[in-house]
Chains A and B, each alone.
Chain A
């Protein structure tokens, strides 16, 4: 009957990510249940009664397991707290394999550019070129965003620990900066075309540099939280 304890503990942990913290809790619970079982047996219980007695002392560990799965061994943030959306993701987790994420990402990007080009051509035909060129920088920004989403999905699969958190933060930092510069360039052309003051509008990039420095600082502070 003792080996069934392992099945019991395995069943409690079914569907949890395979991280060191989760394995540790699994082993700790199992070893303690085994010790109790051995004690019950040497106290003269039948294996069946011992098994029932051992299981009866467990209590509800689901909250604890969620804690361990959700935020690694050291609770530091709320990156992966279980939200309704998170539960939905878990249900359809078979879609989000590493290979599929790449395929989905490529599909979304290709479809997006085809749509953008279609809109642009139709718009130009109708005589809206003046504004429609903006669809390309916006598309570029979306492209960066989609890549970032793909990267986040891929990195998150590596379990939740300090290393993946740092990687996530760096990915988000890179994408944020890229989107910021794309938007800034767009703004630059808009203002310049509008005002025809090309001699001064370029100073907007100085502001961009300032924003970039602030972004770097903010992310650096966050990254340092997860460094020893």
Chain B
């Protein structure tokens, strides 16, 4: 993982919600989707993922259910709730605003008119 994963970590919950907006999913598949979306540059550690699932489920943003796979261990699926959808939409607005502010601050030197 060459990119700064600590910058992403603050968005863990919203990234999971974003992927669940596409449909119900389970731990490994969410990570697989993330790998595909990032050209294999990023994925969550399992521990991070389960901790986030727990947090999101407790806050009511997602719910879980067991799949009916015949072979292997039972698989836990997650589904986004209406509350989760609202949280996701809000997070997008918030991100747009934050992104804008951080951009302005980080590129402050570039924007400064010369000779001042």
Measuring CB to CB, which residues of chain A are less than 8 angstroms from any residue of chain B?
6, 24-25, 27-36, 39, 57-61, 63-64, 67-68, 74-75
Complex alpha-carbon distance, A67 and B50, angstroms: 11
Complex alpha-carbon distance, A32 and B30, angstroms: 10
Complex alpha-carbon distance, A193 and B107, angstroms: 85
Contact A60 B73 (CB under 8 A): no
Knowing A27-B74, A28-B76, say if A58 contacts B47 (CB, 8 Å). yes
B94: which A residues are within 8 A, CB to CB? none
9 closest A-B pairs by CB: A59-B45, A59-B47, A31-B73, A32-B27, A30-B73, A32-B28, A35-B28, A28-B76, A31-B75
Complex alpha-carbon distance, A126 and B23, angstroms: 83
Contact A58 B73 (CB under 8 A): no
25-64 of chain B: CB within 8 A of chain A: 26-29, 31-32, 43, 45-48, 50-51, 54, 58
Q: B72-100 interface mask toward A, CB cutoff 8 Å, 1 = contact, 0 = none?
A: 11111000000000000000000000000
Complex alpha-carbon distance, A60 and B43, angstroms: 15
A29: which B residues are within 8 A, CB to CB? 27, 46, 50
**Pairs A–B under 8 Å by Cβ, sample size 16:** A24-B76, A25-B50, A28-B76, A29-B46, A31-B72, A31-B74, A35-B26, A35-B75, A39-B32, A57-B31, A58-B46, A59-B45, A59-B47, A61-B46, A61-B47, A64-B51
Q: Number of B interface residues, CB 8 Å?
A: 21
Contact A32 B74 (CB under 8 A): no
| 6 additional contacts (CB under 8 A) given A32-B28, A61-B46 | A27-B74, A27-B76, A28-B27, A31-B75, A39-B28, A64-B47
Complex alpha-carbon distance, A74 and B29, angstroms: 25
Interface core residue of A25, A31, A59 (most chain B CB under 10 Å): A31
Interface core residue of A24, A28, A34, A67 (most chain B CB under 10 Å): A28
Contact B48 A59 (CB under 8 A): yes
A39: which B residues are within 8 A, CB to CB? 28, 32
Closest Cβ of chain B: how far from A53's Cβ, in Å? Answer: 12
Complex alpha-carbon distance, A215 and B51, angstroms: 38
Knowing A31-B74, A35-B75, say if A74 contacts B58 (CB, 8 Å). yes
Contact B50 A57 (CB under 8 A): no
Contact B26 A31 (CB under 8 A): yes
Complex alpha-carbon distance, A60 and B46, angstroms: 8
B74: which A residues are within 8 A, CB to CB? 27, 31
Closest Cβ of chain B: how far from A16's Cβ, in Å? Answer: 14
Closest Cβ of chain A: how far from B92's Cβ, in Å? Answer: 27
